[in-house]
Amino acid sequence: MTALDWPEILLRLGVATLAGCAIGLNRDLHGKPIGLKTLGIVGLSTATVVLLAMQFAEPGKINDAASRVIQGILTGIGFLGAGVIVHESDRFRVRGLTSAACTFLAACLGIACGIGQWPIVGTALTLAFLILTVGNRTEHWLHRMLGGRHETQESDGPARPGSPGGN
């Protein structure tokens, strides 16, 4: 059994929480149904469970028990993500998919933080913010250039009144 020291535990749980909060802040700023607190807790909770499972593994390795914990997290997180997806039957539209994907990402980042894979956390967070920041404009531009049909409201639907809007 391996025991992590307090600074390492604080680092892993803290970064997982901050990563989830950062993604949640983006969702909050765009008026989406899931935000800073929820995704911060997703990151923290997944990192916590992974840290618990890792306590029984060899240093730097994931054993079968930890693998099953990770699989369970990724299966279960779908229920939380499904809670932010709305289907509008009268217009055949699905909204909230980006927020659901962000929920899944916050869980994955929590797992990576729990394992202590900092390059993966940093790279994934950077790419996520790149997608969340310029993805909508890029998608609109590509639809115009390639002649595709593009809805005026994205998969997450309209932003709340008074919010900056966007996907």
pLDDT value, residue 34: 80
Is residue 167 situated within a structural domain? no
3-class DSSP assignment, residue 62: coil
pLDDT value, residue 59: 66
Residue 91, classified by CB atoms within 10 Å of its CB into exposed (0-12), middle (13-18) or buried (19+), is: exposed
pLDDT value, residue 164: 45
Sign of torsion, CA 15 21 27 33?
positive
E-strand stretches of the chain: 86-88, 93-95
Is residue 152 situated within a structural domain? no
3-class DSSP assignment, residue 56: coil
Residue by residue, pLDDT tens for the chain (167 residues) are: 457 788 999 999 999 999 999 998 988 888 887 888 888 988 898 888 888 777 766 666 677 877 888 888 888 887 777 877 776 676 767 678 888 888 889 999 998 898 888 999 999 999 898 888 888 888 788 778 887 665 544 445 554 444 444 44
65: domain range?
6-146
pLDDT value, residue 14: 93
Is residue 1 situated within a structural domain? no
Is residue 155 situated within a structural domain? no
Measured distance CA(24)–CA(40) in Å, rounded:
7
pLDDT value, residue 22: 92
Is residue 91 situated within a structural domain? yes
Alpha-carbon distance values, 35 to 10, 45, 72, 138, 146 (Å): 23, 15, 23, 24, 33
pLDDT value, residue 60: 64
Question: Whole-prediction pTM value?
Answer: 0.65
H/E element, 100: helix 97-115
Domain tally for the chain?
1
